[in-house]
Structure 1
């Protein structure tokens, strides 16, 4: 099973393909090799040279390549064609999904996300804010017309951050930078899950940006963000994004346990994408979204 995330954002050298493995060649001539079968996501930045042969093999094996800028914020993604046996039928069905079914799916995603935020905040010691977030979940209606997601975000982030700090996608402080990096890894896993499920990544249920080729990815990963948030909050205050150990911890967050039966964040992403495919084709009528229930346990 593919599970490893290879982070080459601080790597200065060339990566290529050799007999079923990724070969990393440093500027001093030293080399390291990792089996391609172990890799789930590859992350690179501007100092990494990539051979066309490796890109071809990554595409054939469905391994997404996330390219980031110097801050670790993704600027592009390369992924292979889906090999799902019903990719054509599934994407046609996805494009013909009725508005009520799309709205129902988004409402379930929002409820699960806000419940997960409540559980993360509770685990971080904010019991009252957790209760307030849980109360908001009962107000989510089809399509979330009252934008409960945004209401919850304001409450959630004000509790998550210390006084004088706030969520800023452009922020370079530790928490914001770590959240951005953790979400980048999460998005890579979700891109792979959506592609493997034979779905059309650009066709979302809520996100619909004309410039975003991964709207559905950004829909489906929402309930998983609170798990990443929890692990980011566990970083020691003296951590630095330049430290390989910090990045290792953030990478491992996407492989942490999400479900009570032991399934991980990345595994559950795969299950959710497959379920959405069945929902799009009409094979199931209810789109059930799992909820992160705090460290080491979750429930559906």
Structure 2
């Protein structure tokens, strides 16, 4: 796996030559060895990219994200077959037991709420954080009391104000959407590498969502984006977007070690899928530090 995140945001051509990505603009030419690249973000629609390069990037497991005319991520390139026994893994995915999915979903959402509370504590909202933590033990399968939804609303309103609405068009929501999409893309890549398909989720079952399973598994990691956006909530979106790229370069504590987020997600996805296959008992834990 590579270690570099490449963001292209100006008129240019991207092509392939001798295991390298070749970047050409009006006044600049650069070559980057594909083995060094972990993520390629094409931020503008004013980029020409060859199919040979796309093919080589996919084969190397590089995450390729394309943005729309507003420079917001709107698509990701994933291979049809992420491993040699993909057909077998998909059949096992189809046969996941409902009670197993519900149990694992409770574990994952418990981590999400715990991480939301950790972010609130970090910024001095102790009382709200403690209130959220008391609800974790009340989580049950199917969440009939909608504890997850109430926790999310508490977190957003505490960080961004009582008038904040998640789907309103503002700079904060632009930052949240951008960051969540970056993390979603990383999860989608790892799910495909495990031989599964992203459409079949645990709790997310939206027929129009191509990434239901990624939407499920990324839940505990959303707080990383919340933290960055809150710290820069007075800044314009272009600045916030640059800070969000730090998700790829920062290290986070996981399993007793400091690791890059891409490596954490790779391990996390594999182990959760092993749980869903009933080949592992415990769901891995990702905890945001206060």
Answering whether residue 171 of structure 2 is matched by residue 177 of structure 1, we say no
Answering whether residue 264 of structure 2 is matched by residue 268 of structure 1, we say yes
Shift of 1:65: 2.1
Shift of the 60–169 alpha-carbon distance from structure 1 to 2, 3 Å rule, reads farther
Shift of 1:177: 2.0
Shift of the 254–107 alpha-carbon distance from structure 1 to 2, 3 Å rule, reads farther
Could you say what secondary structure the match of 2:48 adopts? strand
* Unmatched segments (≥5 aa) in structure 2: none
TM-score computed with the length of structure 1 as normaliser: 0.87
- CA separation in 2, counterparts of 1:236 and 1:206? 30
- CA separation in 1, counterparts of 2:113 and 2:48? 40
The corresponding residue for 1:298 is: none
Asked whether the equivalents of residues 190 and 269 of structure 2 are also in contact (C-alpha less than 8 Å), the reply is yes
- CA separation in 1, counterparts of 2:95 and 2:5? 34
Shift of 1:153: 0.8
Shift of the 169–290 alpha-carbon distance from structure 1 to 2, 3 Å rule, reads farther
The corresponding residue for 1:253 is: 247
Shift of 1:226: 0.4
Larger CA deviation: 125-134 vs 227-236 = 227-236
| 1:72-98 C-alpha deviation (Å, 9 max, x unpaired) | 433222212334244222221111011
Shift of the 236–145 alpha-carbon distance from structure 1 to 2, 3 Å rule, reads closer
Shift of 1:236: 7.3
- CA separation in 2, counterparts of 1:35 and 1:262? 26
- CA separation in 2, counterparts of 1:206 and 1:291? 19
Asked whether the equivalents of residues 2 and 40 of structure 1 are also in contact (C-alpha less than 8 Å), the reply is yes
Asked whether the equivalents of residues 169 and 180 of structure 1 are also in contact (C-alpha less than 8 Å), the reply is no
Shift of 1:30: 1.8
Could you say what secondary structure the match of 2:143 adopts? coil
- CA separation in 2, counterparts of 1:277 and 1:47? 38
- CA separation in 2, counterparts of 1:7 and 1:139? 43
TM-score computed with the length of structure 2 as normaliser: 0.90
Answering whether residue 231 of structure 2 is matched by residue 234 of structure 1, we say yes
Shift of 1:64: 2.9
The corresponding residue for 2:191 is: 194
Q: Which runs of 4+ in 1 moved over 6 A?
A: none
1:1-300 equivalent positions in 2, closer than 5 A: 1-8=1-8, 10-26=9-25, 28-44=26-42, 45-162=44-161, 164=163, 166-169=164-167, 171-173=169-171, 175-235=172-232, 237=234, 239-243=235-239, 246-256=240-250, 257-259=252-254, 260-286=256-282, 288-294=283-289
**Corresponding pairs, count:** 287
- CA separation in 1, counterparts of 2:181 and 2:228? 14
